[in-house]
Amino acid sequence: MQPFAFITVTGEQAARQAAAYPDARYLAGGTTLIDLMKLNVERPSTVVDINAVPLAAISELPDGTVRVGAMVRNSDMAHHPLVRDRYPLISQAILAGASGQIRNMATTAGNLLQRTRCYYFRDTTMRCNKREPGTGCAAIDGYNRIHAVLGTSEHCIATHPSDLCVALAAVDATVRVVGSKGARAVPFGEFHVLPDERPERETALEPGELIVAVDLPPLPFARRSVYVKVRDRASYAFALASAAVALDLSGGVIRQARVALGGIATRPWRAHEAELLLEGREASVEMYRQAADAALAAAIPRRHNAFKIELARRTLVRALSRAEALS
């Protein structure tokens, strides 16, 4: 860990001012940031503790949007009635992640900004374009069982590890941020960006911008939704593959579908191709398989992760079947 300045702030304004120091980082739950600082992967000059900034509320807006504050703990979000009842896939996704202790610390914004678990990213003795642009990617020809098959580039194949974000992608959440240019709303689908040639850039966030909330739009059929996660052990492990699914079913026909995948892509992966295939069709396992094939059509396997393609297909079929079975 490198020496750093530590500043505690109580308001948004102060937070953004403090974050103007070069290489400053906000500290929320710290479950990503502190780990990476210990590994010397993150070396901020200044750490701005935002735990006292009042951003920990969950509220309903007049139009039915549910606003989740940036500092809401993951556990509180998962168990909040507005989230649990209206967006089961979100609750389930959170509770399938990490451990109880970590979820009690982890925050909404922190979860969106968690970094990849790529071994090479986390080890400063190895080459990594994301950590040190231009040094190369040690994972592409290395041990890459946990790496991505969708959204990869020749510069980075790191998996985005979040569970919550997969569900947020499915419901078309909006990320509310404030920065030196004022407040703006970033659609979830534009929040995380593909690695392409610049894997060091992971989100649309500008330096110093503060996430204040995540908005969940009204989506009545999300009551029929599930999150299915497959991992190496029963709990406390990152997804090898996961699927967040919501179905609007009527008389056995799929009117609308929301499909997103996790554990297999460089960012939370909304599968529009699958949705298009499903919409207007009769619900059946055969349809789900076709949708799964469409979702994974562009997948590129590497030496150790080819199994993830088939696993993701099956995970998606399972999620769709389970969602259908809900009343």
Partner 1 sequence: MIGAAIDRLDGRQKVTGRATYSAEWPIERLSYGVIVQSAIAKGTIAAMDVSAAEQAPGVLAVITAGNAPKLPQGGQAGVNPPAGRALTLLQDTRVRYNGEPIAVVIAESFEQATHAASLLRVNYHEEQPAVDIMQALPTAEPYTKKILGQFEPFSRRGDVDAGLRDAAVVVEATYTTPLETHNAMEPHSTIAVWERDQLTLYDATQYVYGVKRFVAKTLGLRDDQVRVVSKFTGGAFGSKGSAWSHVVLAAMAARHVGRPVKIVLSRRQMFGPVGGRPYTVQRLRVGARHDGTLTAIDQDVVSSTSTFEDWVESSTLQTRMLYAAPNVATAQRLVRLNLGTPTFNRGPGESSGTFGLESAIDELAWRLGVDPIELRLRNYASVDPETGLPWSSKSLRECYERGAERFEWSRRTPAPRSMRDGDHLIGLGMATATYPAKRMPASAAATLTADGAILVEAATHEFGTGTYTVMTQIAADALGVPIDRVRFELGDSNLPDNPISAGSMTVSSTGPAVHAAAVALRERIRQAGADPSDVESCRRIIAAAAGAPLSATAAAAPGAEKARYSMHAFGAVFAEVRVDPELGELRVARVVGAYAAGRILNPKTARSQMIGGIIYGLSMALFEHTAIDPRNGRYLNADLSEYLVPVNADVGDIDVLLLDETDEHVNPLGVKGLGEIGTTGVAAAVANAVYHASGVRVRDLPITIDQLLAGSDR
Ligand X SMILES: Cc1cc2nc3c(=O)[nH]c(=O)nc-3n(C[C@H](O)[C@H](O)[C@H](O)COP(=O)(O)OP(=O)(O)OC[C@H]3O[C@@H](n4cnc5c(N)ncnc54)[C@H](O)[C@@H]3O)c2cc1C
CA-CA-CA-CA torsion sign (186, 205, 19, 102): positive
70 binds ligand X (CB under 6 A): yes
Site for ligand X in 120-149 (CB under 6 A): none
Residue 125 binds which one of ligand SF4, partner 1, ligand X, none, with CB within 5 to 8 A depending on kind?
Answer: partner 1
Q: Which is nearer to ligand X, 86 or 103 (CB)?
A: 103
Residues 6+ apart with CB under 8 A from 124: 39, 40, 41, 131
The CA–CA distances, whole Å, from 309 to 145, 295, 304, 315 equal 12, 10, 11, 10
Tokens encoding 109: 């914004």
Rounded least distance, CB 137 to ligand SF4, Å:
3
Question: Which residues are near partner 1 by CB under 8 A?
Answer: 1-3, 40, 99, 117, 119-120, 123, 125-126, 138, 141-143, 145, 230, 232-237, 240, 307, 310-311, 314-315, 317-318
CA-CA-CA-CA torsion sign (139, 142, 148, 154): positive
Residue 32 binds which one of ligand X, partner 1, ligand SF4, none, with CB within 5 to 8 A depending on kind?
Answer: ligand X
Write the binding mask 86 to 105 for ligand X: x where contact by CB under 6 A, - elsewhere. Answer: -----------xx---x--x
Rounded least distance, CB 266 to partner 1, Å:
19
CB 237 within 8 A of CB 130: no
Rounded to whole angstroms, the Cα distance separating 181 from 117 reads 32
263 binds ligand X (CB under 6 A): no
Question: Which residues are near ligand SF4 by CB under 6 A?
Answer: 116, 118, 120-121, 128-130, 137-139, 156-158, 199
Q: Which is nearer to ligand SF4, 99 or 124 (CB)?
A: 124
Rounded least distance, CB 268 to ligand SF4, Å:
16
Residue 318 binds which one of ligand SF4, ligand X, partner 1, none, with CB within 5 to 8 A depending on kind?
Answer: partner 1
Rounded least distance, CB 152 to partner 1, Å:
19
Collapsed DSSP state (helix, strand, coil) of residue 89: helix
28 binds ligand X (CB under 6 A): yes
Tokens encoding 166: 């997969």
Rounded least distance, CB 157 to ligand SF4, Å:
5
The pairs formed by 153-156 with CB atoms below 8 angstroms and a separation of 24 or more are 153/194, 153/195, 153/196, 153/197, 153/199, 153/266, 155/129, 155/195, 155/196, 155/197, 155/198, 155/199, 156/129, 156/130, 156/195, 156/199, 156/266
259 binds ligand X (CB under 6 A): no
